[in-house]
Amino acid sequence: MAKRAVRYAVIDAFTSAPFKGNPAAVCLLDTPEDAAAGDEWMQSVAGEFNISETAFLSRAVDVESDCPTNGACGPRFHLRWFTPVAEVELCGHATLAAAHFLWSHGLVNSEVIYFSTKSGTLTAKRVVSSNIFDAIDVSSTKAQKFFIELDFPVLPVAECDALETLSIPVTLNGASIINVQKFGADEQLMVELSSAKDILNLQPNFEEIQKCAGGALVVTTSAPANSEFDFFTRYFCPKFGINEDPVCGSVHCALTPYWSKKLGKNSLVAYMASPRSGRLDLELIVETQRVLIRGEAVTVMTGTLLV
């Protein structure tokens, strides 16, 4: 029986260097048969890749009624994200990877892409620049790299009760804790630690994190005074089939308003302090309760799935 070939790429997000940042597999479902692939197949593919996230793209019909409320229209794609064990409702790094895939493979001409997701319409904007804040001559042959700006919703942060925080000091092996809060539909725990050294030296106990209240555990702290960053973070999510997510974009939908309030600024630079590491440039839009997440990406692998 003939097999269909589904194009894919593995892309490292929130980095300009291969084998850094956070890898995501992006699968393009560009035929009606591919687009009709079921949840079970997608989950099996994500398990086969066995990296933090696998994204599935299929083109949506561009119709006026499906445009954002500001009336802007452009290329639109359905986008879904799967960890090795479950589908998730919001993922930053795999969205950035999906946008990078579409632009770097010449599949869209627009500077903005709209993604229809379980978290509503998300946008990705291409920013061609030698410095993310300084425009350059895009006609130059040297203008090869580009940044991607994601427009995501703020995730409100709430206080935790005593029972939810009971196991955290043990899980973090005695690290000094300043504050504990929670966010998201699955009430992920966000723990502020006292120093960057605590973040960098942390040796998490994943069995205990698996038993913690909430879907995942985020640890964060303000960056050292001489750092180019505003805060450091690590993200542990064994319940999603990933012990440590190297660079998580969506968690910054909660971290950005949290650190914006603490530091008194809306433009922030975040460092994910996992062994792979990554940088995110962030901006809180207070009026619309949105977070702009900017970063780079690099393709490290391309191929086809035979299905």
Q: Supply the CATH number for residue 179's domain.
A: 3.10.310.10
Give the domain range for residue 48: 5-154+295-306
Residue 48 has pLDDT above 60, yes or no: yes
Residue 290 within a domain: no
Q: How many whole angstroms separate alpha carbon 267 and alpha carbon 296?
A: 17
| The predicted structure's pLDDT at residue 119 | 92
More confident residue, 61 or 51: 51
| The predicted structure's pLDDT at residue 133 | 43
The mean per-residue pLDDT over the stretch 235-262 comes to 96
Residue 52 within a domain: yes
Among this protein's residues, is 53 annotated catalytic? yes
| The predicted structure's pLDDT at residue 129 | 61
| The predicted structure's pLDDT at residue 165 | 85
| The predicted structure's pLDDT at residue 144 | 55
Domain match, 301 and 188 both? no
Q: How many whole angstroms separate alpha carbon 214 and alpha carbon 259?
A: 21
Domain match, 233 and 213 both? yes
Residue 120 within a domain: yes
The mean per-residue pLDDT over the stretch 25-47 comes to 92
Task: Report DSSP letters for the chain, one per residue.
Answer: ----EEEEEEEEES-SSTT-SEEEEEEE--SHHHHT--HHHHHHHHHHH-SSEEEEEEEPP--GGGS-TT-----EEEEEEE-SS-EES--HHHHHHHHHHHHHTT---SSEEEEEETTEEEEEEEEEEEETTEE--TTSTT---EEEEEEEE---EEEPPHHHHTTHHHHTTT--EEEEEEETTTTEEEEEES-HHHHHH----HHHHHHSSSS-EEEEEEPPTTSS-SEEEEEEEGGGTEEEESS-STTHHHHHHHHHHHHT-SEEEEEE-SSS-EEEEEEEETTTTEEEEEE-EEEEEEEEEE-
**Mean pLDDT, the chain, whole residue set:** 89
Domain match, 10 and 147 both? yes
| The predicted structure's pLDDT at residue 71 | 52
Domain match, 39 and 77 both? yes
Instruction: Exactly one of 53, 149, 192, 296 is catalytic; name it.
Output: 53
The mean per-residue pLDDT over the stretch 62-67 comes to 47
Q: What percent of the chain has pLDDT over 70?
A: 91
Indicate the range of 194-208, 250-264, 278-292 predicted with least confidence: 194-208
Domain match, 179 and 147 both? no
Residue 201 within a domain: yes
Domain match, 137 and 241 both? no
Indicate the range of 21-35, 60-74, 77-91, 166-180 predicted with least confidence: 60-74
Indicate the range of 68-72, 108-112, 201-205 predicted with least confidence: 68-72
Domain match, 15 and 148 both? yes
Which are the contacts of 154, defined by CB distance < 8 A and separation ≥ 6? 253, 254, 256, 257, 284, 289, 290, 291
The number of residues in the chain equals 307
**Could you give the number of structural domains in the chain?**
2
- Whole-model pTM: value is 0.89
The mean per-residue pLDDT over the stretch 19-40 comes to 92
**Predicted confidence band of residue 128 (pLDDT cuts 50, 70, 90):** confident
Indicate the range of 124-128, 219-223, 288-292 predicted with least confidence: 124-128
**Predicted confidence band of residue 135 (pLDDT cuts 50, 70, 90):** very low
Residue 12 has pLDDT above 50, yes or no: yes
Domain match, 103 and 230 both? no
| The predicted structure's pLDDT at residue 67 | 55
Q: Are 64 and 93 in contact (CB under 8 A)?
A: no
Residue 64 has pLDDT above 90, yes or no: no
* Torsion sign, CA atoms 28, 78, 118, 159: positive
Q: What percent of the chain has pLDDT over 90?
A: 74
**Looking at the DSSP assignment, which residues form a beta bridge with residue 5?**
306
Domain match, 245 and 187 both? yes
